[in-house]
Amino acid sequence: MTTPDQDPALEAEVERQMAELRRGATQIVSEEGLRARIARSVRTGRPLRVKLGVDPTAHDLHLGFTLPLRKLQVFSELGHQPVLIIGDATAMVGDPSGRNKARPQLTREMVDDYAASYLRQASKVLDLERVEVRRNSEWLGELGFSGMIGLVGHATVAQLLVREDFAKRYREGTPIYLHEFVYPLLQGWDSVVVRADVELGGQDQLFNLLIGRDLQEAEGQEAQICMMGPLLVGLDGSRKMSKSFGNSIGLDEAPGEMFGKVMSLPDELMRPWFELATTLPLDEIEAIFAAGSHPRDLKDRLGREIVERFHDEAAAQGASDEFRRIFTEQQLPSEIEELPVPADALDAEGRIWIVALLRLAGFVTSNGEGMRLVSQGGIKIEGEAVGDPKAEVTFEDGAVLRAGKKRFVRLRRPE
């Protein structure tokens, strides 16, 4: 007689789910534990409660944020219960993970504003109708003095100083504030309250996720499975994607801007970006690379896949066509912003210093920057190069001023 644990249909379903969930996972604590919980879920029909905690600390989300969101969506599509915790309380404390100094403290108004923006952008990846959305101020705001003392009693200073980021700051004499020590315990308490079976996070979140396991066990719960994913390498090819590094793609960016940034991606990042930043099946990705296509064509496919995820198919194809028209065929964009040049900017002969014109167009912010840009080449008016930074130029109404490959403006003379 076949036992439930040996049921071929059950085992096949467990393997199917594990195969889906391993994609993009760098570490699972533990994989066997996850397998056992999925098997139990399939047998009993009780979905796993899968937690992702996010602190709303900015308006703009970038592509790197979508990795754990996508994993949460995959769990949802497999029939489990996604739990998205908006850390409106922990955001005011500040996560020290991966930081070499304390985060600036936020106000309640800032956090609420960021939270609304986060949910709107997260809906581009998550089906929020199937997600249990919670705010951890619901329970952390009710801890009170005795509750907080009981919570911090679960960890020692020695435990916390084991963290690489804390240890580094301690060695270098950089201040570590007490509220930063408390943060991992607050995040861990979230897992206790929502009774998480699985918690998702980036590799830099491992310490915080393990604290959640400890707190659950201390409260008599089964310790959650911790699933860590990679940090998406940014457009510079060396550092994690971050708006502060200037190497990110924002989820709210226009299709052409998104596509153009993908086309600037270093060749060696294309394979991991196909796997992490698209939803294409792995066997299809394998076939794409096995075909031996030119890197330009691979980037075009990658760019269209990413733009389609956050806009639509028409926008993706339009961005591809526009890029080809400008950069491959050396044509002008189909739409060019107009710049009315004020009469008082022109001399009696209708001329203007080229650097002043660049400043009016917003291409540079200082005369020195403008003179360097002209000297480097790439400045054209109606296709005619302007290489002298001292040049006084004139132009016809509707002439196009071009700086390099990406910046265009149509000049309008005063009436």
Mind listing the pLDDT tens digit of every residue in the chain (415 residues)?
444 456 889 999 999 999 999 998 999 999 999 999 999 999 999 999 999 999 888 888 899 999 999 999 999 999 999 999 999 988 877 655 544 444 566 788 888 999 999 999 999 999 999 999 999 999 998 888 888 888 888 877 777 777 777 788 878 888 877 777 788 899 999 999 999 999 999 888 888 899 999 999 999 999 999 999 999 999 999 999 988 788 999 999 999 999 999 999 999 999 999 999 999 999 999 999 998 888 999 999 999 999 999 999 999 999 998 888 877 656 667 678 889 999 888 988 889 999 999 999 999 889 999 899 899 888 988 878 898 999 999 888 888 888 877 788 889 988 7
User: 263: Cβ–Cβ under 8 A, 6 or more apart, which residues?
Assistant: 296, 299, 300, 303, 323, 327
Cα–Cα dist 218/174, whole Å: 32
Quickly count: other Cβ atoms within 10 Å of residue 291's Cβ. 9
Element (H, E) at 29: strand 27-29
Residue 180 is predicted with a pLDDT of: 78
What pLDDT shows up at residue 380? 87
| Confidence at residue 162, expressed as pLDDT on a 0 to 100 scale | 74
| Nearby residues of 34 by Cβ (< 8 Å), 6 or more positions away | 18, 21, 28, 198, 225, 227
Reduced to 3 states (helix: H, G, I; strand: E, B; else coil), residue 27 is strand
pLDDT on residue 187: 92
Tokens 């991966």, residue located? 98
Please state the pTM of the whole predicted model: 0.76
Using CA atoms, how far apart are residues 308 and 302, in angstroms rounded to an integer?
10
- What per-residue confidence (pLDDT) applies to 95? 54
pLDDT tens for each residue of 352-410: 999 999 999 999 889 999 899 899 888 988 878 898 999 999 888 888 888 877 788 88
Q: Give residue 52's pLDDT.
A: 96
Q: What is the pLDDT of residue 399?
A: 87
Q: How far apart are the C-alpha atoms of 235 and 246, rounded to whole Å?
A: 8
Alpha helices, DSSP H, located in 227-345 = 255-263, 270-277, 282-290, 295-310, 313-323
Where does residue 277 rank: exposed (0-12), middle (13-18), buried (19+ CB within 10 A)? buried
144 Rama sector, left if φ>0, alpha if ψ -120 to 50, beta otherwise: left
pLDDT at 146: 86
Helix 295-310 to helix 255-263 angle (10° resolution) is 150
| DSSP state letter for 102 | P
Q: How far is CA 137 from the centre of its chain?
A: 24
Q: What are phi and psi of 202, to 5 degrees?
A: -75, 170
